[in-house]
Amino acid sequence: MNSLAPISVSIVGGFLGAGKTTLLNRLLEEADGQRLGLIVNDFGDINIDEKLIVARDEDMISLANGCICCSIGNDFLRALVAMTSRADPPEQIIIEASGVANPARIASIAQADRDLSLQGVIVLVDAVNFIAQLDDALLTDTLEGQVRAGDLIVLTKRDLVSPKAISLVEKAVAAITPAPRIVSSAVGDLPIGLLFGLRSRDRRSGETREPAHPSFWAGSFTSEQPCNLYLLREKLMALPETLLRLKGVVCDVEGTSHTVQWVAGRLVIAASPSTVGDVAGSELVYIGVGAGAEEADVRRVLTSAFDVSC
Amino acid sequence: MATVIFSAKRIITMNPSRPFASHVAVRDGRVLGVGTLEELQTWGEAEVDDRFTDLTLMPGLIEGHSHLIEGALWDQVYVGYYDRTGPDGKVWPGLTTIDAVVERLAEADAALEDGETPLIAWGFDPIFFGEQRMVAADLDRVSTSRRIGVFHASLHFLNVNSVVVDESNLAASANMQEVVLGSDGKPTGELAGMVGMYLAMKSMQYDASAASTYPPSLWNFAKICQLAGVTTATDLHSPLDDEMVARLKGEIEKPDYPIRLVPAFGGTLMSPEDGIARIGSLVAKSTDKMKMGIVKLVLDGSIQGFTARLQWPGHFNGAPNGLWYIAPDELKKLVVAYHTAGHQLHIHTNGDEATKVALDAIEEALTAHPRPDHRHTLQHCQLASDAQFRRMAALGVGVNLFSNHTYYWGDQHYEMTLGPDRANRIDNAGSALEHGVDLAVHSDAPITAIGPLFTAWCAVNRVTATGRVLGGEAEMLSLDEALYTITMGGAASLKLDHEIGSIEVGKFADFAVLRDDPYEMDLMALKDVRVWGTVLGGRVFEAPTR
């Protein structure tokens, strides 16, 4: 296994027709210089500008902007291993689960490999067809499994149905999984950068980034205080359920840096591969779902974790 | 061209107009005639070959559902519970304790020269060890420095040693269903599903399906077939890209390669439009030894893995219903596309719900696009009900049943997965024939060993590993029916019954050469029939004996 920082892995799931391909097409458009690795079911559906293709074979396409696209082809695992074993692995891997797959099964691979770090599972729910599909006895358990696997549920095609219909779908989702992190949106409106943790251009300004979508809130937290990791683990248990993801680097009392990744309740703290004094203090960024009331709660939890008087 | 007349103690022809004979004449790799020596000599000058005079000839046996991976696995260490014969004819005794597994692995470890090469084993099956599970500590007794991975018989579980556990992130993944935890809350080294397969590929660089098309694997596979009397076998899910076809042909077309291969194109590996174009080119590349054109679709998982799609009342032990590998509506689109393009579909269905969905799709395609003799075939189809067999007959759909299941997993189906009623009806070959459904039976190698005579024994006796008999006598095949099923039945399921499956004028001279005559044995001994070797296209292949 390599000694580089783990590669972030995001999984996009949801039944056939829910909008996964549209989302992936947006990702490719907005990669903005970041080397993304997309593993998709079929190249045929992805809009790839032929002028950008620098190399292609049956199962892989390399783009001029550094992104690579892999089709699952004969073997999804082979595609993933090939991508992670490259001399120049992508900065982030985004996997399109098949329309009938349970994305949790794919997520567990990202959790099992030290070279990978699970960024989250986004499950798209088709606001137009979900209720009818859920009523189909052949599909009920497949759809329920997908919804349960989602760290974030995105109700797509909001523009095609009435607010009342949206609320019915939301209720159906809530009946499947308690306290879902759920937003309704046309895929075109989603803040892709935030969702996938892409670097934003104004990163250096130090300003708290304003999410470009009313259904999300985000923020950042910095501290010069050394962090008590034991306390941090304990305190992070109290993060609000609407928080989707929190990540960053913290510096402990001995001056060692650790990466912190919290995704929908799954916490991983690991020694940072780059500990040579390049980070003074701690910096964490986070994103949550909903109107934003809980951002203060996150800030309070984090402040308490860095409280030296404890 | 020279004519050779083989004599035999008995020739079982599977040709109803002359079921038995003493001699067969071969010319140009095909059967010139079957009958008495005097009858055959009327064709003119011929060499008489008496080497089979004390042996029994049957049509070359047909394995209608196997995978080339079997050949790749034989380059690794076999650690299964049952005896299994390797490509060189050596019988590897079954290992009935975990200590015995560790011992065989230690021998293999000692035989490896460097300390880096991962040690891979296969065929392990924990269901026979009761509560006892294999753990990393067991494998650490083999090596604490070399990576070790032991695949289970299903290939969907993997046991690893501490070297692999420690370099992975398994310890931090306690919430994952795929990682089995011990009473101390730590990973035991037993991994389910894609996590195990992924780590085998990533950490041990082991990719069995890639290895399956390397020449040594192809030869292993062919020799395994030859030892079992098989002259035509299948690789029932394959990408069949140009490079792979060239690699396969590089070996298969050699005159001393002892089998014909029928690979099926995996119909979901690309869009149906692209797939249909590829099949067109594959049909054009087909030869007498490698026939291409059939399409495989996998609709659900397996019964013993709890991933088959079952109708009510679902799993006996309350496990949730299984998985769709293709959404039901997607299946309809795929069936229509390949059906209207004129191709024959082989659809994997294990559970009865999957069988229903497959039959619905075929019925819809046939209603919109009637097509004579499409011969679409359901593969495994283990839980089909009487009503479903009737539907198959009405739709002209054939079935290739996984009869080896009655023996290997019958008890598990009875006690855990399905309960008594549905365990009794698995792989109901009798019902299939009763309704007039074209019937074949198979091993699904490497899941179970290739051996059509063993598979026939399963279909005749329906006995489980512990001696339980599943279902009524009506479901047990007669010897005639069973032998027909592993020859003509297999040929018909591949739409090759005009070329193979019987010893009959005009067909390929493909024979199984047997030391024992099935008609002179007890039905319970059918699995013990000894195979001398095979004849392929008139060329004699004696099996190695060890």
List chain B residues with CB under 8 Å of A100: 323-327, 330
CATH 3.10.310.70 correct for B69-209: yes
CB atoms within 10 A of CB A262: 19
Query: Residue B425 CA to chain centroid, in angstroms?
Result: 21
The CATH H-level superfamily of A7-194 is P-loop containing nucleotide triphosphate hydrolases (3.40.50.300)
DSSP B524: G
Decide the pairing of beta strands B3-12 and B20-27. Answer: antiparallel
Kindly list the domain boundaries of chain B, sorted by start residue. Answer: 69-209, 212-503
Return residues 197-226 of B near A (CB < 8 Å): 197-199, 201-203, 207, 209-210
* Beta strands B119-124; B77-78: pairing state: parallel
Closest CA to B300 of B346, B359, B347: B347
SS (H, E, C) B451-506: CHHHHHHHHHHCECCCCCECCCHHHCCCHHHHHHHHHHHHHHHCCCCCCCCCCCCC
Nearest to A73 among B199, B269, B323 (CB): B269
Taking an 8 Å cut-off on Cβ atoms, the answer to whether B241 and A141 are in contact is no
Most B CBs within 10 Å, among A40, A86, A105, to test the B interface? A105
Q: Tokens 């070790």 correspond to what residue? A: B148
Question: Tokens for B391?
Answer: 């539907």
Do the Cβ atoms of A42 and B326 come within 8 Å?
A: no
pLDDT of residue A218 exceeding 90, the answer is no
Backbone angles phi, psi at A96, to 5 degrees: -90, 115
Q: HEC string of B326-360?
A: CCHHHHHHHHHHHHHCCCCEEEEECCHHHHHHHHH
Q: Measured between alpha carbons, how far is B461 from B439 in angstroms, rounded to an integer?
A: 17
Chain B nearest-CA residue for A109:
B195
- Shortest CB distance from B271 goes to which of A16, A42, A109? A42
Dihedral of CA atoms A203, A205, A207, A210 in degrees, nearest 10, equals: -50
Q: What tokens appear for A113 in the block?
A: 């490999």
Reported as type and span, the H/E element at residue B449 is none
Domain range summary for chain A, segments of one domain joined by +:
7-194, 202-305
Residue with the two structure tokens 């880096």: B116
Helix axes B352-368, B386-395, angle to 10 degrees: 20
Contacts of B67 in chain A (CB under 8 A): none
Considering only CB atoms, which chain B residues are within 8 Å of A7? none
Q: A138–B353: do the CB atoms touch at under 8 Å?
A: yes
DSSP classification of residue A149: H
Span A17-42, mean pLDDT?
89
| Exposure b/e, B329-349, CB count within 10 A at least 16 = b | bbbbebbbbbbeeebbbbbbb
For B173, the closest of A75, A85, A108 (CB atoms) is A108
**Two tokens, residue B48:** 């008489």
Residue type, B418: L
Q: What is the DSSP string of B168-223?
A: SSGGG-TT-TTEEE-TTSSEEEEEEHHHHHHHHHHHS---HHHHTTSHHHHHHHHH
Distance, CA of B7 to CA of B5 (rounded, Å): 6
Quickly state the pLDDT bin for A274 (edges 50, 70, 90).
low
With contacts defined as CB-CB under 8 Å, which chain A residues touch B177?
104, 108
CB-nearest to B239 from A1, A74, A84 is A74
CB B440 within 8 A of CB B64: yes
Q: Higher model confidence: residue A88 or residue A173?
A: A173
Q: Tokens at residue A69, please?
A: 């696209």
Q: What angle is formed at CA B474 by the lines to CA B471 and CA B476, rounded to 5 degrees?
A: 75
Topology of the domain comprising B212-503: TIM Barrel (3.20.20)
How distant, in Å, are the alpha carbons of A39, A208, B57, B101, B492 from that of B517? 55, 84, 9, 36, 24
Cβ–Cβ contact A267 with B under 8 A: no
Q: Omega before B313 cis (within 30°)?
A: yes
Cross-strand bridge partners of residue A62: A55, A68
Interface probe with B: pick from A7, A15, A42, A81, most Cβ of B within 10 Å? A81
B241 contacts chain A (CB < 8 A): yes
Q: How far apart are CA B26 and CA B511, in angstroms?
A: 11
Which pLDDT does position A305 carry in this prediction? Answer: 86
Q: Give the largest Cα separation in chain B, rounded.
A: 80
For residue B510, the model assigns a pLDDT of: 98
Q: Which residues contact A239 (CB under 8 A, 6 or more apart)?
A: A246, A262, A297, A298, A301
Single-letter amino acid, residue A262: W
Q: Check: CB of residue A263 under 8 Å from CB of residue A200.
A: no
Q: Do A114 and B194 touch (CB under 8 A)?
A: no
Distance linking the first and last C-alpha atoms of chain B: 36
Where do the H-state alpha helices sit in B258-345? 272-285, 328-340
DSSP, collapsed to helix, strand or coil, labels residue B535 as strand
Q: Measured between CB atoms, does A144 come within 8 Å of chain B?
A: no
A107 token code pair: 């997520």
Q: Is the pLDDT of residue A210 over 60?
A: no
Q: What is the chain A residue with the closest CA to B327?
A: A100
| DSSP codes joined into one string, A181-226 | -EEE--GGGS-HHHHTTPPPGGGGG-PPPPPSSTTEEEEEEEESSP
Residue from the list A15, A109, A115 with its beta carbon closest to the beta carbon of B194: A109
CA distances from B139 to B131, B424, B543 (A): 18, 38, 35
Residue B462 has what pLDDT? 98
At A209, the pLDDT band (50, 70, 90 cuts) reads: low
CA A204 to chain centre: 22
With CA atoms as reference, report the closest residue to B460 among B423, B485, B434.
B485
Show the low-confidence residues of chain B (pLDDT under 50): none
At residue B541, the pLDDT reads 98
Q: What is the pLDDT of residue A205?
A: 46
Cβ contacts of A228 within 8 Å, gap of 6 or more: A252, A253, A305, A306, A310
What is the dihedral sign for C-alpha B280, B281, B282, B288? positive
Sign of the four-CA dihedral B207, B208, B213, B219: positive
Q: What is the pLDDT of residue B172?
A: 74
Question: Domain A202-305 - what CATH class?
Answer: alpha beta
CA distance readout (Å), B20 to B10, B47, B131: 7, 21, 51
Q: How far is CA A310 from CA A114, A160, A224, A227, B539, in A?
A: 32, 52, 16, 11, 85
Parallel/antiparallel/unpaired status of strands B260-266 and B230-238: parallel
Q: Find, in chain A, the residue whose alpha carbon is nearest to that of B176.
A: A108
Q: Which of residues 260-319 of B touch A (CB under 8 A)?
A: 266, 269-271, 274, 309
pLDDT of A277 over the 60 cut: no
Q: Can you state the angle between helices A103-112 and B193-203, rounded to 10 degrees? A: 40
| CA distances in angstroms from B405 to A65, A75, B372, listed in the order given | 52, 27, 32
Amino acid at B191: L
Report angle CA B507, B512, B514 to the nearest 5 degrees. 145
Q: Residue B115 gets which letter from DSSP? A: S
Amino acid identity of residue B105, one-letter, is L
3-state per-residue secondary structure call for A224-290: CCCECHHHHHHHHCCCCCCEEEEEEEEEECCCCEEEEEEECCEEEEEECCCCCCCCCCEEEEEEEEC
Please give the residue of chain A at the shortest CA–CA distance from B267.
A74
At residue B323, φ and ψ (nearest 5 deg) are -115, 145
Question: Which residue has tokens 């670097």?
Answer: A199
CA distance linking residue B200 with residue A127, whole number of Å: 39
Q: How confident is the model at residue A60 (pLDDT cuts 50, 70, 90)?
A: confident
